[in-house]
Amino acid sequence: MENRTFDRMGRTVGVIGLGAWQLGADWGTVSEDDAHATLAAAVDAGVTFIDTADVYGDGRSEQVIGQFIKGRPQLTVATKMGRRMPQEPENYSLDNFRAWTDRSRANLGVDTLDLVQLHCPPTPVFSTGAVYDALDTLVQEKRIAAYGVSVERVDEALAAIERPGTASVQIILNALRLKPLERVLPAAAAAGVGIIARVPLASGLLSGRYDEQTTFGADDHRNYNRHGEAFDVGETFSGVDFGTGLEAVRRLRPHVPAGATMAQFALRWIADQDGVTVVIPGARNPEQARGNASAAALAPLDAATHEAVRAVYDELIRPQVHDRW
């Protein structure tokens, strides 16, 4: 597993991590035994970075991870806060931050959280000095070791990168969402801010396992949030129309290296991007966790392959998503 460093945190992590949303809710049911088996398989395969949030299963994801990480100090666990209250800028206050992080500390069973990220808050929050002052206070109080932001929009990422205490930016980046390559990744690299690439498989589209007949359960956001009914539609299939995404995958498939899966190809493409610190694919079972982690062992993709990805994006995807986020 290739390691990369969060400069402002002073922490080194494997380039392929694990996103733990599905261990809490919204991806169908994952039993506690399956959750622990998935975590164990990921770590055995070299994963050292796990991303969760206080809202995933209303704390279930954090609690499962908290049980798992006991005696494993080599792991870095990032969580997120802010989505358990109405999304109004005034709710992003020091008192609420203390309450939210105290709950996450209890769920994870730690005194100090490794990394806490604002969880896609309202856009004005990213430019509010008092918010960053409050986050700095949490660091001083040793409730958290570092803080970052999770964003929907490029402009939100750029605003956060300008703040000297921001350690990381989590943003949707995959072969169907190229806009962060233009400004966000260069700005983050110049500032020493880590980039956490989320939704790397476009909610499974880039795994290559779906077709027009694929259906999803009633408790799966790929069903109930297909048009942004519950939260930002960009979190589901990266905001790409399902049929268009399937066609993009069909065009990309011939470029998958021999012996690699479509998912591994998609993860390797992200890892190849300058400025990416860690990629956080989700996994519902040990097989998926091991397969994702092994993407780090693939050789970097050649220039012609990267050009092919961009060509598919420019023709099929850019008109749908490029100007939205």
The pLDDT value given to residue 307: 98
Confidence check: pLDDT of 13 > 80:
yes
DSSP run (H or E) holding 169: strand 166-172
Euclidean distance between the first and the last CA atom of the chain, given in angstroms as a whole number: 31
Per DSSP, 144 falls in state B
Confidence check: pLDDT of 29 > 90:
no
Neighbouring C-alpha atoms within 13 Å toward the C-beta of 166 = 30
Confidence check: pLDDT of 125 > 70:
yes
Confidence check: pLDDT of 28 > 80:
no
The pLDDT value given to residue 31: 87
Contact 300, 264 (CB under 8 A): no
The pLDDT value given to residue 27: 64
The pLDDT value given to residue 97: 98
Rounded to 5 degrees, what are φ and ψ at 201? -105, 15
Given pLDDT bands bounded at 50, 70 and 90, which one contains residue 25? confident
Given pLDDT bands bounded at 50, 70 and 90, which one contains residue 80? very high
Confidence check: pLDDT of 83 > 90:
yes
Name the β-bridge partners of 117.
80, 148
Alpha-carbon distances, residue 287 vs 39, 133, 203, 279 (angstroms): 11, 43, 17, 18
Predicted confidence (pLDDT) per residue in 199-212, tens digit: 999 999 999 999 99
The pLDDT value given to residue 85: 94
> For the chain, how many helices (H) and strands (E)?
12, 10
pTM, entire model: 0.96
Q: Where are the alpha helices (DSSP H) in the chain?
A: 32-44, 60-69, 94-108, 129-140, 154-161, 184-191, 221-224, 242-252, 262-271, 286-293, 303-312, 318-321
Give 35-59 as a 3 state SS string: HHHHHHHHHHCCCCEEECCCCHHHH
Q: How many domains does the chain have?
A: 1
CATH number at residue 36: 3.20.20.100
Q: Region 266-284: what's the mean pLDDT?
A: 97
Radius of gyration of the chain (CA): 18
The pLDDT value given to residue 178: 98
Q: Region 170-197: what's the mean pLDDT?
A: 98
Across 92-101, 176-185, 227-236, least confident range: 227-236
Contacts of 307 (CB under 8 A, 6+ apart): none
DSSP result, 286-303: HHHHHHHHGGGGSPPPPH
- Residue 258: domain span: 3-322
Contacts of 242 (CB under 8 A, 6+ apart): 205, 226
Q: Region 77-94: what's the mean pLDDT?
A: 97
Given pLDDT bands bounded at 50, 70 and 90, which one contains residue 22? confident
Confidence check: pLDDT of 24 > 90:
no
Average pLDDT of every residue of the chain: 96
How far apart are alpha carbons 234 and 10 in whole angstroms?
A: 31
How far apart are alpha carbons 201 and 176 in whole angstroms?
A: 9
Query: How, if at all, do strands 11-14 and 3-6 pair?
Result: antiparallel
